[in-house]
């Protein structure tokens, strides 16, 4: 079943087109990779579908419903969740309190229910020491907390913006397995932005490739990675 | 581009208002322009600091007040005319500004913007209360003959001394423009204002530039303090209203647009002078600035959201 | 920390505060009233600050409340208690209207606009001579509660109880999560479903209503209001310094800040005829530069370090 789709989604900043005419869709249970060279518009694309910024034109549909101009907090309540590239744990809140936020506001649970749900989420991700101050967490724990925070929205669509960055090989492997389990168990549609192609290859069922804001290729990773246009985009970006 | 257009609009509006008022009530125009000169001359240094150091100095008016007090006591002790004291006052305030920058502002540059706001707010209170502590809240004035010089044209008679503020404001705006575009130091300051990180990469000492700009602004407002003393009585709280008014003008002109400050000052000066001209509206004159600052800020956020 | 000990201490402090009139004379009671008033204002300022918004307009809402009470009595014939209830309603309604306009502003723009609004309120009241009494202000027939020093002290203490209760509620409820999330990162907060504008509006209205109530209490306990007395910049300045010194983003910080600063400025006032407020300026500067988390923040940090060592 299609959870999320865009049609001709476009966003220009002062004449610069960051996302140009992108149409795509994501299905239940699918892990989709969103790749492309630096500055290709991947984060802008996520910002558009999650409602952090509004498109110049085009359309965003969530479960058949038009959400193109819906504010971010309402989309969060409907079931679109995301993490951020730059992570800012909430100061003065403990690990579990950070996770509770989504539960409290996106699901409107009371504090007690939210705490119980957050504790369950943390446990499923292997997080312990829930009352710790966030300044005492390891990188892996912070990444997991960030995922737990997004999952607290109880979403059906989840975007992960470079959650693997900064992790070592073992940690990456652990987190990949967890994301796969979560997506399967919760029947999520997951969109993943990553720079490490090994992660994309292992984690995703399908990828879309953005270059200069345009969608230039789409399909399973093995197939897309042999696409001459994609190779050129990456080489061009590197040169 | 946008600032240029705004400057043009402000100038045209100001001129149109001026002509209308000149025909109807000439003294209103004259006093309005004189007042505008005073406002602009005090606001321009604040605009300089905001444009380059990116700090809203809520102690701005207090710098002027302190310079005015220093001048007052120097003049009382030596019998000197405050006019002669303008340059020494500027020098002393520059040094004071530099020290204040080094001791406080500099340490808060990397802190959140709100910390800077609260810091300068606190500095302003500290300065005015220190003066209050040492010299009490008594008002002080130096009486000068030439201040009351007046001219009569036809049936209208008006004081001319305060035109000096208009001249000073215009000189400041022009001088700063030359400084920022023609001198090495000025160009460096402009570069720092636009992009501190980039300026640091090309070898400009950002901290030193900030310090110098802060000192220059202090010098200008300090000179104005001496000049202010020729016209008005002073007391510890005399400076603080000018902080708000200066900020209003700077915000209206747009950050980094010094000539625009002149234009907005004329508009406001005349509006105030107009309200002051009638008994029924006299008390409302002070409200013009505050309504305007809110309108400007709200208008600008509306525009932001549209783009 | 030991929760029971804290509870016992809070209870003892409360009992002491309530029973103060039994053993304190007129002067200490007057000082206490001032301290309590500023403590309550500092709490309300801090409550909004927890969302990251700095208001420079406390005096504006305080003054509005003061005039709402005074004019409620004089022009609408309200009874004393009704006029007290009218103050927060009026200030809250004003805040609701203003909030719609200004709560999309951030950082210095919000702060400057609140400062300008306070000035506008003052000037308007100054100029509506026939209705507000103009610069000379208005005088009530008498002070509330027969002017009993003890009763007026308790009335002010009641105002503080409202502020304390609200602050404590903010710390224990969804407000805590909403405001902390907004302060830290608005974008991330939105992605977690936080309706930022709604929470800011609620916070602004609640804190403004309490500031208005305190203004009403002030008028009822002194029997008069003039634009210069109730819109005095000190009602903005002192709470700010108090909360900064004691420690922002907490209930306990402003409480201790008010006791420390209130008593020391009272002490200075006796010795310095002019400029005793210099201590407020100095404290703001020193705290911002050297201990932005305030005394409570320092204590918390020290405690955490001690706990770390114990582990």
pLDDT in tens, B240-289: 889 988 988 888 888 888 888 998 898 888 888 888 888 888 888 888 88
- Low-confidence residues of chain C, pLDDT below 50? none
- Coil, strand or helix: which one is B161? coil
> In 3D, which of C45, C123, C59 has the Cα closest to residue C91?
C59
pLDDT attached to residue B2: 59
- pLDDT band with cut points at 50, 70 and 90 for residue B3: low
Indicate the range of B85-94, B225-234, B269-278 predicted with least confidence.
B269-278
Chain A residues in contact with C193 by the CB 8 A cut-off are 73, 76-77, 102, 105-107, 153
The beta-carbon neighbor of C192 closest among A71, A91, A102 is A102
Q: Which long-range contacts (CB under 8 A, 24 or more apart) does C93-98 make?
A: C94/C61, C94/C64, C94/C208, C94/C212, C95/C61, C95/C204, C95/C205, C95/C207, C95/C208, C95/C209, C96/C201, C96/C205, C98/C204
Number of neighbours of residue C147 by Cβ within 10 angstroms: 11
> In 3D, which of B136, B118, B113 has the Cα closest to residue B50?
B113
pLDDT score of B303 more than 70? no
Structure tokens, C94: 């004003």
pLDDT attached to residue B259: 86
C197 touches chain A (CB under 8 A): no
**Host H or E run for residue B83:** none
- pLDDT band with cut points at 50, 70 and 90 for residue A239: very low
Tell me the percentage of chain C whose pLDDT exceeds 70: 98
Interchain CB distance below 8 Å, A101 and C189: yes
pLDDT score of A238 more than 60? no
Complex prediction ipTM: 0.92
pLDDT attached to residue B275: 87
Residue A39 lies in a domain: no
- Domain count for chain A, please give it: 1
Q: Domain limits at A137?
A: 89-145
Residue A61 lies in a domain: no
- Angstrom distance (rounded) from CA A230 to CA A214: 12
Query: How are beta strands A206-211 and A214-219 bridged, if at all?
Result: antiparallel
Using CB atoms within 10 Å of the CB of residue A151, give its burial: 0 to 12 exposed, 13 to 18 middle, 19+ buried: buried
In contact, A108 and A187? CB cutoff 8 Å: no
Residue A36 lies in a domain: no
- Angstrom distance (rounded) from CA B273 to CA B26: 11
> Please, which residues have CB within 8 angstroms of residue C221's CB and are 6 or more apart in sequence?
C33, C143, C144, C152, C155, C156
Which of 163-202 (A) contact C at CB < 8 A? none
In contact, A119 and A151? CB cutoff 8 Å: no
Residue A181 lies in a domain: no
Residue A75 lies in a domain: no
- Angstrom distance (rounded) from CA C88 to CA C85: 6
Tell me the percentage of chain B whose pLDDT exceeds 70: 97
Average pLDDT of chain A?
91
> Who has greater pLDDT, B2 or B168?
B168
Average pLDDT over residues B178-205: 90
Cα torsion through B128, B133, B137, B139, rounded to 10: -80
Which of 63-122 (C) contact A at CB < 8 A? none
Interchain CB distance below 8 Å, B113 and C52: no
The domain B2-306 having CATH identifier 3.30.1370: the answer here is: no
Strand order in the sheet with A57-62: A16-27, A2-13, A57-62, A65-66
A88 touches chain C (CB under 8 A): yes
- Coil, strand or helix: which one is A12? strand
What residue spans define the domains of chain B? 2-306
pLDDT score of B154 more than 60? yes
Average pLDDT over residues B211-240: 94
> Please, which residues have CB within 8 angstroms of residue B282's CB and are 6 or more apart in sequence?
B275, B276
> Please, which residues have CB within 8 angstroms of residue B174's CB and are 6 or more apart in sequence?
none
Looking at the complex, report in whole angstroms how far the Cα of residue C176 sits from the nearest Cα belonging to chain A.
10
DSSP secondary structure code for residue A93 in this structure = -
- Angstrom distance (rounded) from CA B85 to CA B160: 21
Distances (CA, A) of A137 to A128, A131, A143, A226, B60: 10, 11, 10, 40, 44
Residue A52 lies in a domain: no
- Report all structural domains of chain C as residue ranges with CATH numbers, in order of start: 26-232 (1.10.3470.10)
Neighbours of chain C (3+ CB pairs under 8 A): A, B
The partner residues of A94 in beta bridges, in order of sequence, read A133
**Host H or E run for residue A84:** none
Interchain CB distance below 8 Å, C113 and B293: yes
C219-274 pLDDT, tens digit per residue, is 999 999 999 999 988 898 889 889 988 888 999 999 999 999 888 888 888 888 78
End-to-end Cα, chain C, rounded Å: 14
In a mutational test of the B interface, the residue from C112, C117, C241 whose CB has the highest number of chain B CBs within 10 Å is C112
């Amino acid at each position: 079943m299609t959870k999320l789709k865009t049609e001709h989604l476009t966003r220009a900043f002062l004449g610069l087109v960051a996302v140009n005419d992108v149409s795509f869709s994501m299905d239940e249970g699918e892990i989709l990779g969103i790749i492309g060279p630096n500055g290709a518009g991947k984060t802008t694309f996520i910002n558009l579908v999650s409602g952090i910024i509004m498109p110049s034109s085009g359309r965003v549909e969530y479960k058949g419903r038009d959400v193109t101009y819906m504010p971010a907090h309402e989309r969060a309540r409907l079931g679109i969740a995301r993490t951020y590239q730059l992570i800012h744990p909430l100061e003065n809140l403990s690990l579990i309190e950070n996770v509770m936020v989504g539960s409290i506001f996106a699901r409107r649970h009371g504090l007690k229910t939210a705490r119980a749900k957050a504790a369950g989420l943390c446990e499923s991700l292997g997080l312990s020491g829930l009352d710790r101050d966030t300044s005492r967490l390891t990188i892996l724990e912070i990444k997991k907390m960030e995922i737990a925070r997004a999952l607290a929205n109880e979403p059906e669509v989840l975007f992960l913006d470079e959650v693997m960055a900064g992790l070592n090989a073992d940690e990456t492997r652990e987190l990949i397995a967890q994301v796969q389990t979560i997506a399967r168990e919760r029947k999520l549609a997951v969109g993943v932005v990553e720079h490490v192609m090994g992660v994309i290859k292992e984690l995703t069922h399908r990828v879309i490739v953005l270059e200069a804001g345009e969608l230039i290729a789409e399909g399973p990773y093995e197939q897309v990675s042999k696409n001459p246009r994609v190779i050129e985009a990456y080489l061009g970006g590197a040169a | 581009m946008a600032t240029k257009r705004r400057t043009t609009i402000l100038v045209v509006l100001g001129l149109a208002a001026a002509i209308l008022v000149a025909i109807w009530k000439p003294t209103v125009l004259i006093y309005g322009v004189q007042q505008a000169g005073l406002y602009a001359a005090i606001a321009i240094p604040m605009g300089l600091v905001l444009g380059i150091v990116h700090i809203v100095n809520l102690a701005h008016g207090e710098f002027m007040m302190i310079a005015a007090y220093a001048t007052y006591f120097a003049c009382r002790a030596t019998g000197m005319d405050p006019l002669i004291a303008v340059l020494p006052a500027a020098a002393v305030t520059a040094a004071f500004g530099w020290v204040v920058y080094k001791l406080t502002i500099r340490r808060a540059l990397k802190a959140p913007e709100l910390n800077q706001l609260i810091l300068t707010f606190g500095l302003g209170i500290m300065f005015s209360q220190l003066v209050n502590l040492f010299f009490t809240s008594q008002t002080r004035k130096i009486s000068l003959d030439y201040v009351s010089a007046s001219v009569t044209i036809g049936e209208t008679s008006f004081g001319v001394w305060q035109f000096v503020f208009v001249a000073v404001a215009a000189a400041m705006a022009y001088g700063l423009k030359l400084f920022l575009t023609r001198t090495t130091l000025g160009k460096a300051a402009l570069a720092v204002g636009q992009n501190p990180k980039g300026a640091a990469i090309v070898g400009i000492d950002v901290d030193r530039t900030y310090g110098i700009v802060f000192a220059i602004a202090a010098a200008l407002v300090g000179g104005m303090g001496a000049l202010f003393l020729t016209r008005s009585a002073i007391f510890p709280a005399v400076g603080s209203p000018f902080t708000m008014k200066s900020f209003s003008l700077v915000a209206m002109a747009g950050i980094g647009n010094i000539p625009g400050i002149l234009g907005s000052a004329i508009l406001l000066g005349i509006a105030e002078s107009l309200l002051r001209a009638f008994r029924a509206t006299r008390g409302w004159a002070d409200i013009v600035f505050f309504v305007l600052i809110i309108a400007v800020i709200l208008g600008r956020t509306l525009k932001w959201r549209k783009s | 920390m030991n929760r029971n000990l804290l509870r016992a201490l809070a209870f003892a402090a409360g009992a002491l505060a309530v029973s103060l009139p039994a053993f304190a004379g007129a002067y200490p009671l007057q000082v206490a009233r001032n301290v309590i008033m500023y403590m309550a204002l500092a709490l309300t300022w801090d409550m909004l600050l927890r969302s990251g918004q700095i208001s420079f307009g406390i005096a504006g809402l305080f003054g509005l409340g003061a005039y709402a009470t005074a004019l409620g009595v004089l022009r609408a014939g309200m009874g004393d208690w009704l006029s007290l209830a009218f103050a927060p309603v009026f200030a809250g309604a004003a805040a609701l209207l203003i909030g719609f306009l200004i709560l999309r502003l951030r950082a210095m723009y919000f702060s400057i606009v609140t400062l300008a609004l306070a000035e506008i309120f003052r000037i308007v009241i100054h100029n509506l001579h026939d209705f507000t009494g103009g610069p000379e202000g208005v005088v009530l027939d008498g002070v509330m509660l027969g002017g009993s020093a003890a009763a007026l002290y308790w009335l002010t203490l009641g105002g503080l109880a409202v502020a304390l209760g609200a602050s404590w509620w903010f710390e224990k409820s969804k407000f805590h999560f909403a405001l902390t999330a907004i302060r830290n990162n608005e974008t991330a907060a939105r992605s977690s479903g936080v309706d930022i504008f709604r929470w800011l509006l609620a916070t602004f209205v609640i804190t403004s209503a309490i500031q208005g109530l305190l203004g009403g209490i002030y008028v009822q306990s002194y029997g008069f209001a003039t634009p210069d007395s109730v819109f005095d910049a000190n009602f903005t300045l002192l709470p700010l310094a108090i909360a900064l010194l004691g420690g922002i983003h907490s209930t306990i910080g402003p409480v201790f800040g008010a006791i420390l600063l209130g008593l020391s400025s009272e002490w200075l006032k006796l010795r310095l005829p002019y400029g005793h407020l210099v201590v407020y300026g100095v404290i703001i500067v020193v705290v911002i530069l050297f201990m932005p988390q305030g005394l409570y923040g320092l204590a918390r940090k020290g405690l955490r370090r001690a706990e770390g060592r114990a582990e």
